Structure formats: structure tokens, C-alpha cells
Chain A
Amino acid sequence: MNEAVSTGYSVIGALAAFIAASAYLGYLAEKRIEKSEFLQGYFLGNRGLGAWALALTATVQSGGTFMGFPSLVYAHGWIVLVWISGYMVVPLSGFTILAKRFAFLSRRTGAITVPDLFRERFAHSGVGLAASLMILFFMTVMMVAQFKAGATIMKLAWPSSEPMRLTEEQADFEFNKDALRKLKDQKEPKIPAEVLTGLETALGTTASTKRELLDSLQKAVPATPLKPYAASIQSASRGSDWKYLVGLVVFTVVVVGYTLVGGFLAGVWTDLFQSIMMVIGVMILLFLAVPRAGGLEQATRTAVAFTGPEYALGPGHQFRPPGEKDKPENVFDRTVPVKSASGETVDETVRIARSERAYLPIGMAVSFFFVWVFSGVGSPAGMVRVMASENTEVIRKSIFMLSIYNCLIYIPLVCICIAGRALIPALEKTDEIIPRLAVGLTQHLPGGSLLTGLVLAAPFGAVMATVSCYLLVIASGLVKDIYLRFLRPRAAESEIRYVTYTAMIGVGILAIVANIDPPKFLQALVVFSGTGGACTFVVPAIMACYWRRATALGTISAMLSGGLTVSTLYALGTVQRLAMKGPPESWKETAISILGPDRMIGLDDPTAPYFLCGVDPILWGLGVSLVVGLVVSVVTSPPPREHVERMFGDALPSTSVG
């Protein structure tokens, strides 16, 4: 199982099949909506979403389910199931807290977008504008990151002998075969043969900065001074990213293309398609990986023998091959008898380091239960899909379907990765675990490469579907909430259609430009924008749905205070880390005296937020948003009774109003 991952043409073939299927779904969606009123058909699928489509697309997976999550399980063990355990109530919370009221209010007000709904619910354009701006901010950040993920998957799927990783975190520099070839071909300055021979042993070295790359290579080749050739090596290692750029362009053209043609329904149907593919892939891996590891209990015992007892306990610690910063007392040699592929029992020894950082102490465990539940409830993309549901029966059935689906995805994925730790105990790059298992477990099966392609292409489908959804929400915000609201309120349908297409193409071009040299900590921005989105919209949405006394100013205040709280805690996290680096300075001492030292909890992430009192910013954001929303609503003038009755009463509004 430790052999290098070579996926041949299977993954690129599967991606091509996904692209073809998506294009066809876009075409079908266009046929479905072409005779309807444009805005409602294009952005809301004529409010005809069925139970399967709603259940499997409103709150579920993005590419991260198959990308970052397995890596976490592999590195930290069973504690990750506690980390994700909030998903046990996500189907209930996602479809009971807001769904009925949102679906009802969107019909009663004729709202097509989330800002529409807020604006009409409070009869105040300021609420709509605040919601628009917050959605545009958070979703644009999220969407740009997804483009990077899509392009990265396309790059990794390219047939080559390089190992494949399912990760959104690509290194900026990679010393690979292409880079070595460039150095060999280089005329001026000519690289000596002994340097090139030395560098051959360092193939696969990755780094996020020029200096880090040179340091890593120098450590791998200590006998050969590399400094004189630093510029050439750095340039060659960076210049090999044409696959990424091609992937970025192809990904953008495909997603913008089919979304532009088929609108909301194209995005939903693609999402549904990838969700089904993903569950098939997970089931295949589950039934191959766990028996190969000797069953779940044996897999855990083997994984624990390779790592340590904490691998099966809380609060969890990261187990990985040792690095230079690890203290000797945290590095262990583990020798475990394992069964080889031929059935013989052989001793296998691995060297493992245990991180001192506690992954999920109690405060963080509580926090993440909230994160999954409320980021689902407060996601504008999820809200739109609820608004598009056909009727309450659809919402009702979706709860059960999503419950079953979540059981088939998350718990099996954890079991697969625990078995993966037993089968491949010391992966350097933990995000390789799913591709390595997929290739290793299916290569001897009939049609094995097809299965590998299917498993590995699923995250690509998930990213495509996510981007499609975000693209529509952003385009609808630009067209409906800004262009039609402030620039051309009486635009004809043909003009609206033209502006919509232009907006989507514009967003696609922006995403390409932003990702040519993508921001380094994009994944952290994704987490930030997800948490920020939840803290911005959950409390205002609940106020809009259930509290008659809620006022426009109270709602705006709740939105802004929630988002601002999260932003502040993330900024403080950055300040705290900067203060702990480098030589002592007066400002650093002041910052540390106020913020305290690193609490050594959560992931070892350079962009982690400040964990005030040991909990995630989502709890503070939701709390502040709630208090501010309540207080400001109570101290401001109550909303007009007639308007409130229209939003809460049974009587249908008169169509002649206005």
C-alpha cells in the first residue's frame, strides 16, 4: 500500500466525464426554464425544487469533505468524529429552524434573493443593502478559494508520476521533474552535473516561499552548495505551474459556461449528481479499506500501535513524521507486525512525532458543534435553496434524506481513514490518504482504474457544484440587489438577461485574475468567511422569521456586529502570532500581556483566530449578534403593525398593493 500513487488517465477521464455530464445538465436546465419568467426561473428554478435536490444540495458537502477532512482524521484519529459530530443535527436544524418561514416569506414578498427577502420583510432598503454587501463580501472570498481548489484538482489529475494529493493547499514552489529538466537545459548559468545529481534526490520538495524552498533543498543535498544557483532553482520550481493555469481556465470556462446556460437548476442538478457520486465512492472505499485492515477494531489497534494511545482518545494530538522542530521526547519509533499483501506477517517500523497541541479540548468541541449547525443554517446559498423548495412536503422529506446521507458520508469516511492509518502508517503528506487508498485498493479489481477515477473525481464535482451555486448568488446580488435596485429599476427582461450573463462572465474573469497568483492563506479565508457568514445571518434570519418586534435597525446591527466580532477575533489571532515571533519588542510584550500566549489548541495553523476563553469566534459572533439585535430592536421604534401582520398573518397580500 505504500507504493507511489500513479493514477494514469483514469482521473482525467473521470473529470472529462463529469464536465460532459455537467454541460448536459446545463442544457437540460436551460430547456426547463426557457419558457418561464427570467429572474424567477434563472435564479430560483421557478420555486420547484424537489426533495432529493433540496436534501443533497442545501447544506452538504463542498470539495473539503473529500479534501481536508480525511487528512484530519488520518493525522488526529477518532477525535475528528467528535469534531464533526454536529452534523447529527444539521438535517434537523437546516430544514426546521428557518426553512418553512423562509419559503413562505419569499413567496409572500416575491423575493428571489436573500437580500430581497430581508428588504421586504422589514420594508427597509438599508437591510437589503447591508445583506447584499455582506453576502458579496463573504461569498466572493469563498468562491475565489473554490476556483483555486478546482484548478488544483485539475492540475493534480494530470497524468504524471507525481503523487496525487487532494488538497486545496498547494505549495507555491515545487521542485519536480519539470523543474529539474529546466535546470538541465539551462545554458546560462550552467548548473554543474554534481549539483543536478544531488538535486535528483530532492524531487518532490515543496515550499511556500523562495527561502523555504532553498533551505529544504539544501537540507536534502547538504554536500552541494546551492546558493549560487538559487535564482535558477526558484524560477524553475515556480515556472512549472502551467498545468494549474490551464486547469484554472478550463475549470472557469466549464463552470461559468454551464451555470450561465442553465442557471440555478444547472447548479442544483450538478450538485445532486456529485453528491450521489460521492456517496458511491465512499461506500466502495469503506468496503475495501476496513476489511483489508482486519476490521474496524483491529484497524484502530494497529493505528494506535503505530502512533500512540491518544490516537483513539480525546482531546487528540497530531501524529505525523517528525520534523526539525519536534522535541526528542515527542518522537517515537514504533514497530508493529502487519500483514503484507501476500498474507505474510512482517514487522514494520515507523518514526512518528506527537504534537503537543491539543486538537479538540472541551471549549473547541462545543464550538465546532455550533460551527457545523449554524454555518449550515446561516449560509445564504442554503437559504436560497430553501426559498426555491416546491412545498413544505419537500422540506419535510429532505430532513430524513439528508440524515441518511450524512450517516453514509461522515462516519464511513472516518472509518476509512482510520483503516488508512493502519494500512499506510507514516504518510508524509496526510492529504494523500484518499488517493493512495483509492489506487491501492482498487488496482487489482476489474475496472479498478474506473473506480479510482470515480472516487478521485468526486471532489472535483463537489467544487464545481459549490462554485456554480456561489456564482449564482453573487450574480443575483449584483443584478437584482444593485443593478435593478439602484441603477435601472425598469430594465426590460432582455436587458436583465444581458446584464446577468455579463455579471457571471465578469465574476469568472475576476476569479481567474485573483487566482493566477492566489493568496497564500486562502483556505483560512474560507473558514473565516464561513464563520463570518454564519455570525452575520443566523440571528437576523431568526429575528426576521419569528420576532414581530424585530426592527430594521436591530437587524442591520445584528448583521454588522456578528460579522465584525468574527473579523476582530481573526485579526487579534494574527496580532498574537506576530507578537510571539522574532525578537522581543515593546509592542509585542504589550500584545502578549493583553492577549496571552498561544493556547496550544486547535490546528497548528498560521492563520488561526484568537480563541477568546478557549472557544472559537463563532460563539462570540453569534452571542454578540444576538444581544445587539435584541437591544437595538427594543430601543428603536417598533415596525408598523400592518406590515408585520402581512408577514405573520394568514391572509395573502393584495396583488394590487403598490
Chain B
Amino acid sequence: MSSPPSTLVASARREALLCGLIFVCAITYTISTCVRMGYRDPSAPLEFVMGFPDWIFYGVICPWAVCTVIAALFSFVIMQDHDLGEAAEVPLPTEDAILPIDDADGEAAR
């Protein structure tokens, strides 16, 4: 059995997964909205919202604003602080020929 991950590893992994989810949402929404509203027949009249073409406003400006708000939430609410520890004086020794360990132990490292 491997030991449970450190609190730093656990929170970093959680935050990375959340970030991955935000990335997926952002790319899905942005590209689908832009393609649906902006990749179209050029003969149709242009609509504007706050000076931007409507598809740019809804497809890029709005999600960009939402991502900025989420970034603020990440910075000040979601992300946890951790002690990074003291820097080791010198790099730990490197052993090229690390002996393979038995499968049971190896399994524990998964």
C-alpha cells in the first residue's frame, strides 16, 4: 500500500483537475459559440454588442470575463496555501542502476 498523498499533492491535483475542467468548458463553449454565430453567410447583416461583433462578444469576450472571475476565485478562495519546505542543499543522489523491486511493491507505487 502506498501512503496517502501529501496535502500539497492532493490539493495541487484537485486544482489541476478543476483547471482542466475549466479548460474543457472554455474551449467547448468558445469554439462552438464562435462557429455557430460567427462562421456564417457573410451576406447576413452584422450585429454588435458593446461595439464588438455579437459572435465575438458572446463567444470570446463573455467567456474571457468569466475566466477572469474564476481566476479571481481561484486566487482568493479556492487555491490553498502550503509550506513548500526548505530547499535541499544539494540535489539528492542519483542512482542510475536502481534495482527493480518486486511486483508487489511496484504495485503499491501505482
> Chain A residues in contact with chain B, CB under 8 A?
40, 47, 78-79, 81-82, 85-86, 88-89, 91-93, 96-98, 100-101, 103-104, 106-111, 116, 119-120, 123-126, 128, 295-297, 300-301, 304, 308-310, 312-315, 362, 365-366, 369-370, 373, 391-393, 395-397, 399-400, 402-404, 407, 411, 415, 545-546, 548-549, 637-641, 643-646, 648-650, 652-653, 655, 657-658
How many Å lie between the Cα of A310 and that of B39 in the bound state?
9
Of the residues A310, A369, A396, A415, contact of B79 by C-beta under 8 Å: A396
B72-110 Cβ-contact flags toward A at 8 Å (1 or 0): 101110011111111111111111101111010111111
Q: How far is the CB of B109 from chain A (nearest CB, A)?
A: 5
| Contact between chains at B46 and A403 (CB < 8 Å) | no
| Contact between chains at A106 and B87 (CB < 8 Å) | yes
Residues of chain A lying within 8 A (CB to CB) of residue B34:
82, 314, 365
| Contact between chains at A392 and B48 (CB < 8 Å) | no
| Contact between chains at A314 and B110 (CB < 8 Å) | no
Q: A88-B67, A109-B88, A652-B86 are in contact. Are A366 and B109 (CB under 8 A)?
A: no
| Contact between chains at A649 and B68 (CB < 8 Å) | no
| Contact between chains at A400 and B76 (CB < 8 Å) | yes
Q: A92-B70, A638-B107 are in contact. Are A650 and B53 (CB under 8 A)?
A: no
Q: A104-B8, A107-B86 are in contact. Are A78 and B53 (CB under 8 A)?
A: yes
| Contact between chains at B74 and A120 (CB < 8 Å) | no
Which of A110, A304, A404 neighbours the largest number of chain B CB atoms within 10 Å of its CB? Answer: A110
| Contact between chains at B7 and A650 (CB < 8 Å) | yes
Q: How far is the CB of A274 from chain B (nearest CB, A)?
A: 23
How many Å lie between the Cα of A313 and that of B56 in the bound state?
9
| Contact between chains at A399 and B109 (CB < 8 Å) | no
Residues of chain A lying within 8 A (CB to CB) of residue B99:
640
How many Å lie between the Cα of A312 and that of B59 in the bound state?
13
Of the residues B13, B43, B59, contact of A82 by C-beta under 8 Å: B59
Q: Give residues of chain B (1-31) contacting chain A, Cβ–Cβ below 8 Å.
A: 2-3, 5-9, 11-13, 15-16, 18-20, 22-23, 26-27, 30-31
The 9 closest A-B pairs by CB, nearest first: A296-B51, A638-B106, A110-B88, A658-B93, A309-B42, A400-B75, A403-B71, A314-B39, A650-B6
Can you sample 20 A-B contacts with CB below 8 Å?
A92-B19, A92-B70, A123-B92, A301-B46, A362-B35, A369-B31, A393-B81, A396-B76, A400-B72, A546-B9, A638-B105, A640-B99, A641-B108, A643-B98, A645-B2, A646-B92, A648-B3, A649-B5, A649-B6, A653-B88
Which of A97, A126, A545 neighbours the largest number of chain B CB atoms within 10 Å of its CB? Answer: A97
Q: How far is the CB of B90 from chain A (nearest CB, A)?
A: 5
Residues of chain A lying within 8 A (CB to CB) of residue B76:
396, 400
| Contact between chains at A312 and B64 (CB < 8 Å) | no
| Contact between chains at B82 and A100 (CB < 8 Å) | yes
How many Å lie between the Cα of A407 and that of B43 in the bound state?
31
| Contact between chains at A96 and B8 (CB < 8 Å) | no
| Contact between chains at A82 and B60 (CB < 8 Å) | yes
Of the residues A96, A548, A637, contact of B74 by C-beta under 8 Å: A96
Which of B5, B18, B52 neighbours the largest number of chain A CB atoms within 10 Å of its CB? Answer: B52
Q: How large is the interface on B (under 10, 10 to 19, 20 to 34, 35 or more residues)?
A: 35 or more
Q: Which B-chain residue is minimally distant from A299 (CB atoms)?
A: B51
How many Å lie between the Cα of A117 and that of B47 in the bound state?
52
Residues of chain A lying within 8 A (CB to CB) of residue B98:
123-124, 639-640, 643
Residues of chain A lying within 8 A (CB to CB) of residue B100:
637
Q: How far is the CB of A581 from chain B (nearest CB, A)?
A: 31
How many Å lie between the Cα of A43 and that of B16 in the bound state?
27
Number of A-B contacts (CB under 8 A): 247
How many Å lie between the Cα of A61 and that of B18 in the bound state?
26
Residues of chain B lying within 8 A (CB to CB) of residue A309:
42-43, 46
| Contact between chains at A652 and B85 (CB < 8 Å) | yes
Q: How far is the CB of A128 from chain B (nearest CB, A)?
A: 8
Residues of chain B lying within 8 A (CB to CB) of residue A652:
85-86
| Contact between chains at B56 and A78 (CB < 8 Å) | yes
| Contact between chains at B84 and A403 (CB < 8 Å) | no
| Contact between chains at B74 and A107 (CB < 8 Å) | no
> Chain B residues in contact with chain A, CB under 8 A?
2-3, 5-9, 11-13, 15-16, 18-20, 22-23, 26-27, 30-31, 34-35, 38-40, 42-43, 46, 48, 50-53, 55-56, 59-61, 63-64, 67-68, 70-72, 74-76, 79-96, 98-101, 103, 105-110
Residues of chain A lying within 8 A (CB to CB) of residue B79:
96, 392, 395-396, 399
Q: Which B-chain residue is minimally distant from A646 (CB atoms)?
A: B92
Of the residues B3, B20, B42, B46, contact of A645 by C-beta under 8 Å: B3
Residues of chain A lying within 8 A (CB to CB) of residue B92:
109-110, 120, 123, 646, 653, 657-658
How many Å lie between the Cα of A360 and that of B42 in the bound state?
16
Q: How far is the CB of B94 from chain A (nearest CB, A)?
A: 5
| Contact between chains at A92 and B71 (CB < 8 Å) | yes
Q: A314-B35, A638-B109 are in contact. Are A96 and B81 (CB under 8 A)?
A: no
Of the residues A119, A395, A407, contact of B64 by C-beta under 8 Å: A407
Known contacts A110-B91, A546-B9, A641-B105; 9 additional CB pairs below 8 A are A47-B87, A88-B26, A89-B22, A96-B12, A124-B94, A392-B80, A400-B75, A638-B105, A644-B109
| Contact between chains at B109 and A403 (CB < 8 Å) | no
Q: A88-B63, A89-B26, A304-B46 are in contact. Are A96 and B82 (CB under 8 A)?
A: no
| Contact between chains at B31 and A366 (CB < 8 Å) | yes
| Contact between chains at A399 and B64 (CB < 8 Å) | no
Q: Which B-chain residue is minimally distant from A47 (CB atoms)?
A: B87
Which of A120, A365, A399, A402 neighbours the largest number of chain B CB atoms within 10 Å of its CB? Answer: A399
Q: Which B-chain residue is minimally distant from A643 (CB atoms)?
A: B98
How many Å lie between the Cα of A79 and that of B42 in the bound state?
14
| Contact between chains at A403 and B67 (CB < 8 Å) | yes
Q: How far is the CB of A528 from chain B (nearest CB, A)?
A: 23
How many Å lie between the Cα of A309 and that of B76 in the bound state?
43
Q: How far is the CB of B101 from chain A (nearest CB, A)?
A: 5
Residues of chain A lying within 8 A (CB to CB) of residue B31:
82, 362, 365-366, 369
How many Å lie between the Cα of A100 and that of B35 in the bound state?
36
Q: Which B-chain residue is minimally distant from A103 (CB atoms)?
A: B84
| Contact between chains at A407 and B85 (CB < 8 Å) | no
Residues of chain A lying within 8 A (CB to CB) of residue B30:
82, 85, 88, 369
| Contact between chains at A100 and B7 (CB < 8 Å) | no
Of the residues B2, B43, B85, contact of A108 by C-beta under 8 Å: B85
| Contact between chains at B46 and A111 (CB < 8 Å) | no
| Contact between chains at A296 and B52 (CB < 8 Å) | yes
Q: How far is the CB of A613 from chain B (nearest CB, A)?
A: 16
How many Å lie between the Cα of A325 and that of B52 in the bound state?
33
Q: How far is the CB of A300 from chain B (nearest CB, A)?
A: 6
